[in-house]
Amino acid sequence: MLELNNSQIKLSQLRALLAVAEYGNFSEAALRLDLSQSAVSHAIASLEDELGILLFSRGRQGAIPTPVGEQVIEYARQILQLLEEMVAAAKSEKSLQSGTVRVACIRSAATHILPSAIAQFRRRSPGIAIDILEHFDHLDVEQAIREGQADVGFTHLPTSAEFEAWEILRDEYVALLPPSAHLKQNQCTWEELFAYPLIVPSTNNACFTTLRNHLLSAGIRIDNQVAYQVNEDSTSVSMVLQGLGATIMPRLAAEPIPSALRVCSLPVPLERVIGVAVLANTLLTPAVFSFLDVLRGVASPPVKCA
């Protein structure tokens, strides 16, 4: 039943209206609707009473729409068309024939995780669109999910209780030293690392906070070691390649690493855990559920240094 203000117009009345308008008489409309003629007549009469107007002129020529009846018929046609489109959209969403999944991610996740996941998802659900929202760090990713700008996000674990999250992979922090560095093994000492000017992210970068806290736990303050603060990972890698200093970053963030660079593990290991997160206790669409299922299947083993 469709209620407009205090009126009670039924969809069955609108269907009867269109049938009478199409076939020109009540008996043929009743036959097409598989109803009795009296039921159709009652539907039209009650609709006319509800609207307070005459919709058809009745006579030997059949049922002919009045001028205002023509307008009402067109409105009824639009209402039923919109109803059909609404139902079709719902069915399409349920059957994963259309829809959109919005994914917020940091650059390394967008580069190394998403392409494989999207390729698999496209084979499964080619009608679903994927919107990729790249962010500077994982805190921005979480904010995008929190504000409803994204359905799914790649972030660092552990995260807050407002999110439901699970691990995708572990990414080890590595030291990148210039080509001129001479190392006897794949794990450098702090002395070997800090023999070079240090290239680090800016202080407002969550990665810098993680790195600084890790070094402090090892009794090392890096304030006097920092020569450059750079936000773009690729810029840091290029600067090390030019011999301007050394840097510490997650291995995936450094990829592709030039073969001339010396890559080594830290004296005290550090890793970041990358996970997929959605807002807890929120209603997810079937398309999002399907995409999450694909992500669970592309989880990678921990990334280790060569």
239-274 pLDDT tens trace: 999 999 999 999 999 999 999 999 999 999 999 999
pLDDT at residue 197 in the model:
93
pLDDT band at 95 (very low <50, low <70, confident <90, very high): low
- Judged against a pLDDT cut of 80, whether residue 160 lies above it is answered with yes
Of 82-91, 125-134, 161-170, give the lowest mean pLDDT range.
Answer: 82-91
pLDDT-wise least confident of 27-31, 48-52, 161-165, 200-204 = 200-204
The number of residues in the chain equals 306
Short-list 256, 207, 202, 264, CA closest to 234? 256
pLDDT above 70: percentage of residues in the chain: 93
Quickly state the pLDDT bin for 94 (edges 50, 70, 90): low
Q: Is the pLDDT of residue 299 over 90?
A: no
Residue 76 has pLDDT above 70, yes or no: yes
What is the three-state SS of the chain?
A: CEEECCEEECHHHHHHHHHHHHHCCHHHHHHHHCCCHHHHHHHHHHHHHHHCCCCEEEECCEEEECHHHHHHHHHHHHHHHHHHHHHHHHHHHHCCCCCEEEEEEEHHHHHHCHHHHHHHHHHHCCCCEEEEEEECCHHHHHHHHHCCCCCEEEEEECCCCCEEEEEEEEEEEEEEECCCCCCCCCECCHHHHCCCCEEECCCCCHHHHHHHHHHHHCCCCCCCCEEEECCCHHHHHHHHHCCCCEEEEEHHHHCCCCCCCEEEECCCCCEEEEEEEEECCCCCCHHHHHHHHHHHHCCCCCECCC
| 109, pLDDT greater than 60 | yes
The amino acid occupying position 51 is L
pLDDT of the residue at 20: 94
Cβ–Cβ under 8 Å, residues 270 and 174:
no
Percentage of the chain beyond pLDDT 90 is 59
Compare 14 and 97 and report the one with higher pLDDT: 14
| Residue 219: HSE in the Cβ half-sphere, 13 Å Cα cutoff | 2
- For the segment 277-289, what is each residue's pLDDT rounded down to a tens digit? 999 988 888 889 8
* pLDDT(81) > 50: yes
Does residue 104 carry a pLDDT above 90? Answer: yes
Mean pLDDT, rounded, of the chain: 88
